[in-house]
Structure 1
Amino acid sequence: MASPAASSVITALPETTDPLKIYTTIASLRSYRHPLLSTKSLGFVPTMGALHAGHLSLIRTAAKENDSVAVSIFVNPAQFAPTEDLAVYPRTLHTDVALLESLNAEFSADSTTRGRIEALFLPSVAEMYPHGIPLEENAQRGAFVTVQPLAAKLEGITRPHFFRGVATVVAKLFNIVQPDIAYFGQKDVQQSIILKRMVKDLHFPVQIRVCPTGREVDGLAMSSRNVYLGERRRAIAPVLYQALRASEDEYRRLAAQGGTVDAKAVLAKGLELLQPGKDVPFEIEYFSLADLQELEELGTVDPKKGAVLSAAVRMSPVEEGQGPVRLIDNIILEAEE
């Protein structure tokens, strides 16, 4: 990530008449937040930067529902394993700041929007992890948050370090920013379930708001990592969502017959579509139908309780210079009333 200025409050794009305020230290961010605790509601959108339309949609929702909005950009080392893509994770700070400035101009012109972005938090790794944060988990020192057994399922099977890092950094951010509502996208559904459990168990006075997944016109879930796909893999990538939709359709068909629904039949319909090709090979890491609270795999689905369809694939490199790319996606099967 591009290095922020050394001062605790810096101004981005000084040519604008109403610049975005950027805070790089915890103390400076708290000095902004404390006077507002009893007078203004604060919506918070934590990100790792490389902002796309999905992020902007979250910020727009936060601005409509709150008096003010805070956004953070922090590429969190604790959720990367030593073999993962921390060093090359997309960092587009100047573009990100310009997008946030444009959003504030949009909010000023829209009478239906309550708030605007009043703070962009850009902490350093040293600020967030005073004891350092080596990627090897057994070498890490300090306080960390784990949410078990949720963190060991689905994504946690192939990335056992991941949700420990996510829960830890979000707990830190909630403690620093003290938002009333925090906004997350449904694409990371397991993350949302884990963070809701963390907030409940640790008594954070924060509401978690999960917003619909931002999608490209062909259905691919928006992700900062999509830039890694390249043309050939990008053309194939929407098959993941298509497979989930096929399983959803089968679930609806079976549920309409009454009674519980066989999970194996639902998953089989999607897996018919999710077949790796020779030109663009990929590995299915999981294709899951689980309950919405504990993420336990289901044998049958009670339509009165609902469930979550989720999947992950790892797409292999197909051109020189590429690395593998993981895609995740999900569809919530809402409980019938």
Structure 2
Amino acid sequence: MTTTVRPPVSSAVPAPALAPTRAALQHELAVVRARGGRVAFVPTMGALHEGHASLVRVARDHVGADGAVVVSIFVNPLQFGEGEDLDRYPRTLDADLALCGAEGVDVVFAPAVDEVYPGGDPQVSVEPGPLATVLEGASRPGHFRGVLTVVAKLFGLVQPDVAVFGQKDYQQLALVRRMAADLCLPVEVVGAETVREADGLALSSRNRYLDTEQRRLAVVLSRALTAARDHASYGVDAARQAAATVLAEAPQVEVDYLVVTEADLADVDPARTDAREGRVLVAARLGATRLIDNLPLELRVPGAPSFPA
């Protein structure tokens, strides 16, 4: 008989079922599916914050009170490169479970590495294609192979109807959507809006690495993106230059990339004259911490009418 671990929580906070193994996960999924309704899935690496809570709320909105929300907490070693922060990535399971309970999560899947990869590194992995070689992929070779491989495994284990990912990791969202489409995976991939601090900094588990001065400087990323969005009506070059000017105000911030792209992350097509949504993306380092952010913006020829809101 499969035993499900339920974490100790106060009587005021409902406890999600904690499944540390595949067998426990399947047991809990059988329970929730017997109730009927759809299953929504939110994959995370833990160190949960309000941004993750917002993903859970979006997941709940998609399946309703009769459905179930499953959250995974797993720091996936395949997506970390040499010299990255795998060993120091924050692990805060007790706090994560409390947040999941407060948000009404039904099941938390929190496996050990050998539960996800019982034979060590998998011999078969997901080839992410050309989109994985640019932006984050150029800076972190192999990162998206690791991401898509674990997401595919988690989709197979949970078999969700809906999976929710944050738009802050916009390239990841685009690649998961492409994988689901190309491999005919029966899951709806939903992108949820980025949640920000009051000063505009995008919420991230890695923000806790920043010291006081780095945290003060980090807001320059969102300010740069906003400047790009506000200058987009003057063209792509003007948008990019506006962002670059803001970033130059903080030379301590080491910019990895700053780009304006089509919504699908392709290079902007200069031959197109129609108004459409694009994306401005930035990645930068503050000391040893690497942060990413992005915003939608309008791509159009200067002077052309805007597309409908």
The verdict on a shared fold, with TM-score over 0.5 as the criterion, is yes
Q: 1:37 to 1:162 in 2, by over 3 A?
A: farther
Question: What residue is the counterpart of 2:244 in the other structure?
Answer: 271
2:294 corresponds to which residue?
Answer: 330
Q: 1:299 to 1:40 in 2, by over 3 A?
A: closer
The answer to whether the aligner puts 1:56 opposite 2:35 as a matched pair is no
Contact kept, 8 Å, 1:185 with 1:210, in 2: the verdict is yes
The aligned residue for residue 21 of structure 1 is: 17
CA displacement at 1:330 relative to structure 2: 0.5
Change (3 A) 1:38 1:174: farther
Aligned residues: 294
CA displacement, residues 52-83 of structure 1 (integer Å, 9 cap, x when unaligned): 00000111121232111111100000010121
Asked if the contact 1:8/1:24 (under 8 Å) is kept, the reply is no
Aligned to 1:10: 5
Per-residue deviation, 1:14: 5.8
SS at match of 1:12: coil
- Structure 2 CA distance for partners of 1:159 and 1:305, relative to 1, 3 Å: same
Taking a change above 3 Å as real, the CA distance of residues 76 and 41 of structure 1, as seen in their structure-2 partners, is same
Structure 1 position 282, deviation (Å): 2.4
Find the counterpart in structure 2 of residue 202 from structure 1.
183
For the pair 1:246 / 2:227, whether they are aligned, the reply is yes
Letter in 1 for 2:94: H
Partner amino acid for 1:25? T
What is residue 137 of structure 2 aligned with on the other side? 156
Q: How does 1:103-114 map to 2 (within 5 A)?
A: 103-104=103-104
- For residue 4 of structure 2, what is the amino acid of its counterpart? V
State how 1:278-293 maps to structure 2 within 5 Å: 281-293=252-264
Q: Contact 1:284 / 1:312 at 8 angstroms: preserved in 2?
A: yes
Q: Could you say what secondary structure the match of 1:234 adopts?
A: helix
Aligned residues of 2:282 and 2:294 also touching (Cα < 8 A): yes
Aligned partner of 1:313: which letter?
Answer: A
1:16 Cα deviation after fit: 3.6
> Cα gap change, 1:8/1:148 in structure 2, threshold over 3 Å: closer, same or farther?
farther
User: Shift of residue 28 of structure 1?
Assistant: 2.3
How far apart, CA to CA, are the structure 1 residues paired with 2:176 and 2:282? 19
- Answer whether contact 2:225 2:281 (CA < 8 A) is retained: yes
Q: Answer yes or no: is the 8 Å Cα contact 1:8–1:25 preserved in 2.
A: no
Q: CA RMSD in A?
A: 1.9
1:182-236 deviation line (CA, Å, top 9, x unaligned): 1111100000000000000111111111111010000000000000011000001
Give the corresponding residue for 1:297: 267
Distance 1:150 1:91 in 2: 30
> Amino acid of the residue matched to residue 19 of structure 1?
A
The equivalent residue for 2:117 is 129
One-letter identity of the residue aligned with 2:239: V
Q: Deviations over 1:291-333 (max 9, x none)?
A: 222x2222636453321110101112xxxxxxx1111110112
Cα distance in 2 for partners of 1:77, 1:20 equals: 25
Letter in 1 for 2:88: V
Cα distance change on mapping 1:277 and 1:332 into 2, 3 Å: closer
Give 1:41's aligned residue: 38
TM-score of the superposition, structure 2-length normalised? 0.89
Aligned-pair CA distance for 1:247: 0.8
The one-letter amino acid of 1:152's match is T
- 1:155-188 CA-to-partner distances (Å, cap 9, x unmatched) read 1011011111110111111110011111111100
Q: Contact conserved, 1:23 with 1:29, CA < 8 A, in 2?
A: yes
Alignment of 1:63-82 (within 5 A): 63-66=60-63, 67-82=67-82
Alpha-carbon distance, 1:94 to partner: 0.8
Q: Which of 211, 215, 229 is the matching residue for 2:196?
A: 215
Is 1:99 the counterpart of 2:99? The answer is yes
Alpha-carbon shift at residue 146 of structure 1 (Å)? 1.8
In the TM superposition, what is the alpha-carbon distance from 1:103 to its structure 2 partner?
2.2
The C-alpha deviation readout for 1:241-296, integer Å capped at 9, x for no partner, is: 101111111103x2xxxxxx3x2222011101101646xx2221110111222x22
Question: After the TM superposition, which residues 147-186 of structure 1 pair with which residues of structure 2 at under 5 Å, given as runs?
Answer: 147-186=128-167
Amino acid at match of 1:30: Q
TM-score, normalised relative to structure 1: 0.82
Q: Which runs of 5+ in 2 are unaligned?
A: 300-306
Q: Distance in 2 between matches of 1:65 and 1:251?
A: 33
